[in-house]
């Protein structure tokens, strides 16, 4: 089935784009934004908003129509299915399959100072009615907070004898999150720890497919909760134990 963007009428291609140009706001700047939109493939683009956002910088919002479409049936992606298990069911899985607490160590690593994501997964109160891993029986969760460099993260993980490592990345300018995530994998491999832990990445720009490409066991983006992360990690630990 082929689909294209939808606005007022099905498949009308209605599209909105926004961007910043390094130029003072003027009639010429507005026309430049419109010409760029045409080169993006928008039909009859219209600049519906423009404003100065600093010296020699202007911001634009443009409406137009996109003639391109995609065949949704030909798109293949790797994703993790959402869990249907409750916290109690996951706790029972741990009790049935392990004779000890499972150790989860998490942090916002590198220069990333944001903790909303890692807190939502790990802190006892959780997020949006979903309790965090600190509340789970059978899990010992260590939330190291933000700006934890990869070397320190690995040292603490080793000291705690971690089963699962959770890495949150929010800052993505110039792909700094990708460089940091790759560095962590390389350091774990050099320490002969990579195959001894379940390694999970999370963040607004993270998905399962990207995480796998970077050498992680899983990636969780927006809309996932502690039970999703916990279930994946525990099922993987059970597989490794049985294997």
Which residues are CB-contacts of 197 (< 8 A; sequence separation ≥ 6)? 157, 162, 163, 164, 165, 188
Q: How far is CA 74 from the centre of its chain?
A: 24
Angle at 186 between CA 132 and CA 161, to 5 degrees: 45
**List 52, 88, 125, 155, catalytic entry:** 125
Q: Which phi and psi angles does 212 have, rounded to 5°?
A: -65, -40
Q: Are 176 and 150 in contact (CB under 8 A)?
A: no
For residues 70 and 40, what is the distance between their CA atoms, to the nearest angstrom? 16
Active site residue 155: no
- Single out the residue of 100, 138, 108, 142 nearest to residue 123, CA to CA: 142
Catalytic machinery residues: 125
């Amino acid at each position: 089935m082929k689909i294209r963007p939808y606005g007022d009428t099905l498949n009308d291609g209605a599209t909105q784009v926004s961007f910043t140009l390094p130029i003072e706001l003027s009639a010429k700047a507005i026309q430049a934004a419109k010409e760029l939109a045409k080169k993006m493939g928008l039909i009859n683009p219209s600049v519906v908003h423009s404003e100065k956002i600093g010296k020699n910088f202007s911001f634009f919002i443009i409406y137009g129509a996109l003639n391109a479409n995609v065949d949704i049936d030909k798109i293949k992606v790797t994703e993790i299915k959402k869990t249907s298990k409750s916290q109690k069911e996951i706790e029972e899985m741990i009790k049935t399959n392990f004779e000890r607490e499972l150790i989860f160590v998490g942090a916002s690593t590198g220069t990333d100072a944001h903790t909303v994501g890692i807190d939502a997964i790990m802190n006892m109160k959780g997020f949006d009615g979903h309790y965090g891993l600190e509340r789970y029986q059978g899990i010992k969760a260590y939330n190291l907070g933000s700006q934890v460099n990869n070397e320190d993260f690995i040292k603490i993980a080793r000291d705690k004898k971690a089963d699962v490592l959770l890495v949150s990345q929010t800052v993505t300018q110039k792909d700094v999150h990708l460089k940091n995530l790759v560095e962590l994998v390389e350091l774990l491999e050099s320490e002969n720890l990579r195959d001894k832990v379940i390694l999970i990445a999370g963040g607004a720009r993270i998905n399962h497919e990207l995480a796998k490409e970077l050498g992680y066991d899983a990636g969780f983006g927006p809309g996932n909760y502690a039970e999703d992360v916990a279930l994946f990690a525990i099922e993987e630990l059970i597989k490794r134990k049985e294997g």
